[in-house]
Amino acid sequence: MLTHYNLVANMCQMNGLDYFTENDTLICVLPLFHIYGLVVVLNMGLSQGSTIVTMPRFELEPFLKLVQDHGVTMAHLVPPIVLLLSKSPVVDSYDLSKLQNNILRRGATR
């Protein structure tokens, strides 16, 4: 079980990463009972002042509509969702142009 101290330590470890900013809109489809959804998306998003759009569970078309309607700039996704997005023809019906590659937009070279 994680303690409050663990969560604070996680946030301190991410200080200065410049991962996202108050100008970003995140979509949260990861469960908030999981450390990645809780710390990276929710806690870090809130601490940076980002907008967070939440979904109770992943469903493809509602997800795409939220990304389009809210101008989502960053989506933390798991491989099965990425695979579904790459194969589903319905994706072409939505404007996902606000989504950005975080590493490239911050000027990192990888």
Residue 45's contacts (CB-CB under 8 Å, 6 or more residues apart) are 20, 24, 26, 28, 52
40-85 residue pLDDT tens: 899 999 999 999 999 999 999 999 999 999 999 999 999 999 999 9
Q: Predicted confidence band at 20 (pLDDT cuts at 50, 70, 90)?
A: confident
**pTM given for the model:** 0.84
Domain boundaries along the sequence of the chain? 4-100
Please tell me what DSSP assigns to residue 88. Answer: -
CATH number of 4-100: 3.40.50.980
Q: What is the mean pLDDT of residues 26-40?
A: 91
CA dihedral 74, 78, 83, 85 (to 10 degrees): -30
Indicate whether 29 pLDDT > 50. yes
Residues 107, 93: Cα–Cα separation, whole Å = 30
Please tell me what DSSP assigns to residue 19. Answer: -
